[in-house]
Structure 1
Amino acid sequence: MGSAAARGHHRVPHTADVRIEAWAPDRESCLAEAVTALVESFVDPAGATPDADAEFHLPPQDDPDLLVGVLDEVIFRLETSGVLPLATRIRATDDGGVTVHWRTVPTEAVELVGAVPKAVSLHELRFGPTDGGWAGAVTLDV
Protein backbone atom coordinates (compact mmCIF):
# COMPACT_ATOMS: atom_id res chain seq x y z
CA MET A 1 0.00 0.00 0.00
CA GLY A 2 1.07 3.63 0.13
CA SER A 3 3.54 5.23 2.45
CA ALA A 4 2.39 5.95 5.99
CA ALA A 5 2.28 9.71 5.44
CA ALA A 6 0.25 9.51 2.22
CA ARG A 7 -3.36 8.75 1.70
CA GLY A 8 -4.86 6.96 -1.24
CA HIS A 9 -6.73 3.99 -2.59
CA HIS A 10 -6.82 1.60 -5.51
CA ARG A 11 -8.56 -1.43 -6.95
CA VAL A 12 -6.87 -4.80 -6.72
CA PRO A 13 -7.44 -7.56 -9.30
CA HIS A 14 -9.91 -10.09 -7.89
CA THR A 15 -11.83 -12.94 -9.49
CA ALA A 16 -15.52 -12.14 -10.10
CA ASP A 17 -15.76 -9.42 -7.43
CA VAL A 18 -14.05 -6.08 -6.77
CA ARG A 19 -11.35 -5.65 -4.14
CA ILE A 20 -10.31 -2.21 -2.91
CA GLU A 21 -7.50 -1.04 -0.65
CA ALA A 22 -7.19 2.28 1.16
CA TRP A 23 -4.55 3.89 3.34
CA ALA A 24 -4.12 7.13 5.26
CA PRO A 25 -2.37 8.59 8.31
CA ASP A 26 -5.38 8.03 10.62
CA ARG A 27 -8.48 5.86 10.98
CA GLU A 28 -11.02 8.45 9.88
CA SER A 29 -9.06 9.47 6.76
CA CYS A 30 -8.63 5.81 5.84
CA LEU A 31 -12.38 5.25 6.14
CA ALA A 32 -12.95 8.25 3.84
CA GLU A 33 -10.45 6.87 1.31
CA ALA A 34 -12.28 3.54 1.35
CA VAL A 35 -15.55 5.34 0.52
CA THR A 36 -13.87 7.06 -2.42
CA ALA A 37 -12.41 3.75 -3.60
CA LEU A 38 -15.84 2.10 -3.41
CA VAL A 39 -17.52 4.86 -5.41
CA GLU A 40 -14.74 5.02 -8.02
CA SER A 41 -14.90 1.23 -8.44
CA PHE A 42 -18.10 1.61 -10.47
CA VAL A 43 -18.62 5.27 -11.46
CA ASP A 44 -16.57 8.09 -12.92
CA PRO A 45 -17.29 11.11 -10.69
CA ALA A 46 -15.31 13.53 -12.88
CA GLY A 47 -17.33 16.63 -13.64
CA ALA A 48 -20.10 15.85 -11.14
CA THR A 49 -20.90 18.50 -8.54
CA PRO A 50 -22.33 17.53 -5.15
CA ASP A 51 -25.73 19.05 -4.54
CA ALA A 52 -26.76 17.75 -1.11
CA ASP A 53 -25.41 16.78 2.30
CA ALA A 54 -25.93 13.63 4.33
CA GLU A 55 -24.70 12.73 7.79
CA PHE A 56 -24.95 9.67 10.01
CA HIS A 57 -23.36 8.25 13.14
CA LEU A 58 -21.94 4.79 13.68
CA PRO A 59 -21.64 3.65 17.30
CA PRO A 60 -18.40 2.27 18.75
CA GLN A 61 -17.41 -1.13 17.36
CA ASP A 62 -14.37 -3.03 16.19
CA ASP A 63 -12.45 -1.13 13.52
CA PRO A 64 -13.19 -3.64 10.71
CA ASP A 65 -16.89 -3.40 11.58
CA LEU A 66 -16.69 0.41 11.25
CA LEU A 67 -15.30 0.00 7.74
CA VAL A 68 -18.09 -2.39 6.81
CA GLY A 69 -20.69 -0.08 8.37
CA VAL A 70 -19.54 2.96 6.41
CA LEU A 71 -19.34 1.07 3.10
CA ASP A 72 -22.68 -0.67 3.70
CA GLU A 73 -24.24 2.77 4.14
CA VAL A 74 -22.93 3.85 0.72
CA ILE A 75 -24.55 0.80 -0.89
CA PHE A 76 -27.78 1.26 1.10
CA ARG A 77 -28.17 4.91 0.05
CA LEU A 78 -27.33 4.02 -3.54
CA GLU A 79 -30.09 1.40 -3.58
CA THR A 80 -32.74 3.30 -1.60
CA SER A 81 -32.13 6.97 -2.47
CA GLY A 82 -30.10 6.88 -5.69
CA VAL A 83 -27.30 9.03 -4.26
CA LEU A 84 -23.54 8.64 -3.96
CA PRO A 85 -20.97 10.47 -1.85
CA LEU A 86 -18.46 12.55 -3.81
CA ALA A 87 -16.77 14.04 -0.74
CA THR A 88 -16.43 12.34 2.63
CA ARG A 89 -15.45 13.75 6.02
CA ILE A 90 -15.33 11.45 8.99
CA ARG A 91 -14.65 12.43 12.58
CA ALA A 92 -14.27 10.36 15.70
CA THR A 93 -16.92 10.89 18.35
CA ASP A 94 -16.46 10.93 22.11
CA ASP A 95 -18.18 7.56 22.43
CA GLY A 96 -15.58 5.87 20.16
CA GLY A 97 -17.80 5.77 17.11
CA VAL A 98 -17.67 8.02 14.06
CA THR A 99 -19.81 10.67 12.42
CA VAL A 100 -19.78 10.55 8.62
CA HIS A 101 -20.57 13.64 6.56
CA TRP A 102 -21.05 13.30 2.81
CA ARG A 103 -21.50 15.73 -0.06
CA THR A 104 -23.70 13.69 -2.38
CA VAL A 105 -24.82 13.57 -5.98
CA PRO A 106 -27.69 11.73 -7.68
CA THR A 107 -26.54 8.60 -9.50
CA GLU A 108 -27.75 9.96 -12.83
CA ALA A 109 -25.14 12.73 -12.53
CA VAL A 110 -22.22 10.27 -12.78
CA GLU A 111 -21.13 7.83 -15.48
CA LEU A 112 -21.31 4.11 -14.72
CA VAL A 113 -17.93 2.47 -15.50
CA GLY A 114 -18.12 -0.84 -13.64
CA ALA A 115 -20.29 -3.36 -11.85
CA VAL A 116 -22.40 -1.89 -9.06
CA PRO A 117 -21.53 -3.42 -5.67
CA LYS A 118 -24.33 -5.29 -3.92
CA ALA A 119 -22.65 -5.98 -0.57
CA VAL A 120 -19.44 -5.80 1.42
CA SER A 121 -17.87 -9.21 1.93
CA LEU A 122 -16.37 -10.14 5.30
CA HIS A 123 -13.98 -12.55 3.59
CA GLU A 124 -10.37 -11.32 3.85
CA LEU A 125 -11.53 -8.05 5.43
CA ARG A 126 -8.67 -5.99 6.88
CA PHE A 127 -8.76 -2.60 8.59
CA GLY A 128 -6.44 -1.31 11.28
CA PRO A 129 -3.29 0.54 12.24
CA THR A 130 -0.06 -0.01 10.33
CA ASP A 131 3.43 1.40 10.80
CA GLY A 132 2.68 5.11 11.05
CA GLY A 133 -0.84 5.02 9.62
CA TRP A 134 -3.95 3.01 8.84
CA ALA A 135 -4.81 0.63 6.02
CA GLY A 136 -7.75 -1.44 4.93
CA ALA A 137 -8.77 -3.90 2.25
CA VAL A 138 -12.22 -5.21 1.44
CA THR A 139 -13.94 -7.27 -1.22
CA LEU A 140 -17.16 -5.96 -2.74
CA ASP A 141 -19.72 -8.44 -4.02
CA VAL A 142 -20.99 -7.30 -7.42
Structure 2
Amino acid sequence: MRDRHDRGMDRGHRAVPHTADVRIEAWAPEREGCLAEAVAALVETFADTTDATPDGETTVGLPAGDDTGLLVGLLDEVIFRLETEGTLPLVTEAQTVDGGLRVRWRTVDADAVELVGAVELVGAVPKAVSLHGLRFGRDDTGWSCVVTVDV
Protein backbone atom coordinates (compact mmCIF):
# COMPACT_ATOMS: atom_id res chain seq x y z
CA MET A 1 0.00 0.00 0.00
CA ARG A 2 2.72 2.36 -1.00
CA ASP A 3 0.09 4.75 -2.37
CA ARG A 4 -0.70 6.21 1.06
CA HIS A 5 2.90 7.32 1.45
CA ASP A 6 2.87 8.93 -1.98
CA ARG A 7 -0.12 11.05 -0.97
CA GLY A 8 1.12 11.69 2.56
CA MET A 9 -2.03 10.24 4.08
CA ASP A 10 -1.97 8.70 7.55
CA ARG A 11 -5.51 7.36 7.27
CA GLY A 12 -7.65 6.42 4.28
CA HIS A 13 -9.06 3.82 1.95
CA ARG A 14 -9.59 3.04 -1.70
CA ALA A 15 -11.05 0.47 -4.05
CA VAL A 16 -8.76 -1.11 -6.62
CA PRO A 17 -9.67 -2.94 -9.83
CA HIS A 18 -10.11 -6.68 -9.46
CA THR A 19 -11.59 -9.18 -11.90
CA ALA A 20 -15.30 -9.84 -11.21
CA ASP A 21 -15.01 -8.71 -7.58
CA VAL A 22 -14.13 -5.59 -5.63
CA ARG A 23 -10.87 -5.20 -3.76
CA ILE A 24 -10.53 -2.63 -1.02
CA GLU A 25 -7.52 -1.31 0.85
CA ALA A 26 -7.58 0.66 4.09
CA TRP A 27 -4.96 2.07 6.43
CA ALA A 28 -4.66 4.04 9.66
CA PRO A 29 -2.17 4.51 12.48
CA GLU A 30 -4.26 2.30 14.81
CA ARG A 31 -6.12 -0.99 14.30
CA GLU A 32 -9.55 0.44 15.14
CA GLY A 33 -9.09 3.29 12.64
CA CYS A 34 -8.12 0.83 9.93
CA LEU A 35 -11.27 -1.18 10.63
CA ALA A 36 -13.40 1.99 10.35
CA GLU A 37 -11.70 2.88 7.05
CA ALA A 38 -12.38 -0.65 5.73
CA VAL A 39 -16.10 -0.21 6.47
CA ALA A 40 -16.12 3.14 4.65
CA ALA A 41 -14.30 1.59 1.68
CA LEU A 42 -16.81 -1.27 1.51
CA VAL A 43 -19.81 1.08 1.52
CA GLU A 44 -18.25 3.35 -1.11
CA THR A 45 -17.87 0.43 -3.54
CA PHE A 46 -21.63 0.34 -4.08
CA ALA A 47 -23.22 3.48 -2.58
CA ASP A 48 -22.68 7.22 -2.80
CA THR A 49 -23.63 8.53 0.64
CA THR A 50 -22.22 12.03 0.17
CA ASP A 51 -25.59 13.71 0.74
CA ALA A 52 -26.87 11.27 3.37
CA THR A 53 -27.45 12.24 6.99
CA PRO A 54 -27.42 9.63 9.76
CA ASP A 55 -30.90 8.81 11.03
CA GLY A 56 -30.04 5.97 13.40
CA GLU A 57 -27.38 4.44 15.56
CA THR A 58 -26.37 0.84 16.07
CA THR A 59 -23.89 -0.79 18.42
CA VAL A 60 -22.35 -4.09 17.38
CA GLY A 61 -20.24 -6.38 19.52
CA LEU A 62 -17.75 -8.78 17.97
CA PRO A 63 -16.20 -11.48 20.17
CA ALA A 64 -12.47 -11.79 20.78
CA GLY A 65 -10.56 -13.25 17.88
CA ASP A 66 -7.58 -12.74 15.66
CA ASP A 67 -7.29 -9.52 13.69
CA THR A 68 -8.35 -10.95 10.33
CA GLY A 69 -11.35 -12.65 11.95
CA LEU A 70 -12.46 -9.33 13.43
CA LEU A 71 -12.08 -7.60 10.06
CA VAL A 72 -14.10 -10.26 8.24
CA GLY A 73 -16.72 -10.31 11.00
CA LEU A 74 -17.12 -6.54 10.85
CA LEU A 75 -17.47 -6.37 7.06
CA ASP A 76 -19.84 -9.37 7.07
CA GLU A 77 -21.96 -7.51 9.64
CA VAL A 78 -22.22 -4.52 7.27
CA ILE A 79 -23.44 -6.83 4.49
CA PHE A 80 -25.83 -8.68 6.83
CA ARG A 81 -27.41 -5.47 8.14
CA LEU A 82 -27.82 -4.10 4.64
CA GLU A 83 -29.61 -7.30 3.58
CA THR A 84 -31.78 -7.71 6.69
CA GLU A 85 -32.38 -4.14 7.90
CA GLY A 86 -31.64 -1.99 4.87
CA THR A 87 -29.17 0.12 6.86
CA LEU A 88 -25.78 1.48 5.87
CA PRO A 89 -23.09 2.77 8.23
CA LEU A 90 -22.09 6.36 7.50
CA VAL A 91 -19.74 6.77 10.46
CA THR A 92 -17.89 3.93 12.20
CA GLU A 93 -16.22 4.10 15.59
CA ALA A 94 -14.49 0.93 16.80
CA GLN A 95 -13.16 0.23 20.28
CA THR A 96 -11.27 -2.82 21.54
CA VAL A 97 -13.08 -4.54 24.41
CA ASP A 98 -11.74 -7.74 25.99
CA GLY A 99 -9.96 -8.76 22.78
CA GLY A 100 -13.08 -8.20 20.69
CA LEU A 101 -14.66 -5.07 19.31
CA ARG A 102 -17.46 -2.74 20.20
CA VAL A 103 -18.49 -0.86 17.09
CA ARG A 104 -20.81 2.12 16.99
CA TRP A 105 -22.33 2.98 13.66
CA ARG A 106 -24.24 6.09 12.78
CA THR A 107 -26.49 4.71 10.09
CA VAL A 108 -28.90 5.65 7.37
CA ASP A 109 -31.91 3.68 6.20
CA ALA A 110 -30.84 2.82 2.67
CA ASP A 111 -34.36 1.95 1.53
CA ALA A 112 -36.00 5.15 2.79
CA VAL A 113 -33.35 7.61 1.68
CA GLU A 114 -33.13 6.13 -1.78
CA LEU A 115 -36.60 7.61 -2.32
CA VAL A 116 -35.33 11.12 -1.68
CA GLY A 117 -32.02 10.64 -3.45
CA ALA A 118 -29.66 10.87 -0.46
CA VAL A 119 -28.10 7.48 -1.20
CA GLU A 120 -27.37 6.46 -4.76
CA LEU A 121 -26.34 2.97 -5.73
CA VAL A 122 -23.18 3.23 -7.81
CA GLY A 123 -22.05 -0.40 -7.95
CA ALA A 124 -22.93 -3.98 -7.25
CA VAL A 125 -24.06 -4.68 -3.69
CA PRO A 126 -21.57 -6.96 -1.91
CA LYS A 127 -22.51 -10.56 -1.16
CA ALA A 128 -19.61 -11.79 0.98
CA VAL A 129 -16.04 -11.18 2.08
CA SER A 130 -13.53 -13.49 0.43
CA LEU A 131 -10.77 -15.04 2.52
CA HIS A 132 -8.57 -15.33 -0.56
CA GLY A 133 -5.74 -12.79 -0.43
CA LEU A 134 -7.02 -11.29 2.82
CA ARG A 135 -4.43 -9.31 4.76
CA PHE A 136 -4.74 -7.27 7.92
CA GLY A 137 -1.95 -6.27 10.23
CA ARG A 138 0.58 -3.82 11.46
CA ASP A 139 3.34 -2.49 9.23
CA ASP A 140 6.05 0.15 9.65
CA THR A 141 3.57 3.06 9.49
CA GLY A 142 0.52 1.65 11.26
CA TRP A 143 -2.23 -0.81 10.31
CA SER A 144 -3.39 -1.79 6.84
CA CYS A 145 -5.70 -4.28 5.21
CA VAL A 146 -6.52 -5.67 1.80
CA VAL A 147 -9.86 -7.40 1.27
CA THR A 148 -11.59 -8.91 -1.75
CA VAL A 149 -15.38 -8.61 -1.69
CA ASP A 150 -17.63 -10.90 -3.75
CA VAL A 151 -20.33 -8.96 -5.60
User: TM-score, normalization: structure 1?
Assistant: 0.96
The aligned counterpart of 1:103 is: 106
Query: Which residue of the other structure, out of 7, 11, 20, is the alignment partner of 2:15?
Result: 11
Task: Give 1:116's match in structure 2, choosing from 114, 117, 125.
Answer: 125
Aligned pair in 2 of structure 1 residues 62, 83: CA closer, same or farther (>3 Å)? same
Structure 1 residue identity aligned to 2:140: D
Please say if 1:53 is aligned against 2:57: yes
- 1:89-111: CA deviations, max 9, x gaps? 00111x11110000000113210
1:16-61: per-residue Cα shift (whole Å, max 9, x none)?
A: 0000000000000000000000000000001100000000111111
Aligned-partner Cα distance in 2 for 1:90–1:104: 14
Please report how far the alpha carbon of residue 132 of structure 1 lies from its aligned counterpart in structure 2 after TM superposition. Answer: 2.6
Matched, 1:70 2:48: no
Identical pairs, percent: 65
Q: Point out the structure with the larger helix share.
A: 2
Q: Aligned pair 1:139/2:143, yes or no?
A: no
Unaligned residue ranges in structure 1 (runs of 5+): none
Q: TM-score, normalised by structure 2?
A: 0.91
Aligned partners of 2:41, 2:35: CA distance in 1, in Å? 10
The alignment partner of 2:20 has SS state of: coil
Aligned partner of 2:38 in structure 1 is 34
| Deviation at residue 82 of structure 1 after TM alignment | 0.3
Pair 1:17–1:5, CA change in 2 (3 A): closer
Higher alpha-carbon Rg: 2
Per the TM alignment, residue 5 of structure 1 is displaced from its structure 2 partner at its CA by 6.5
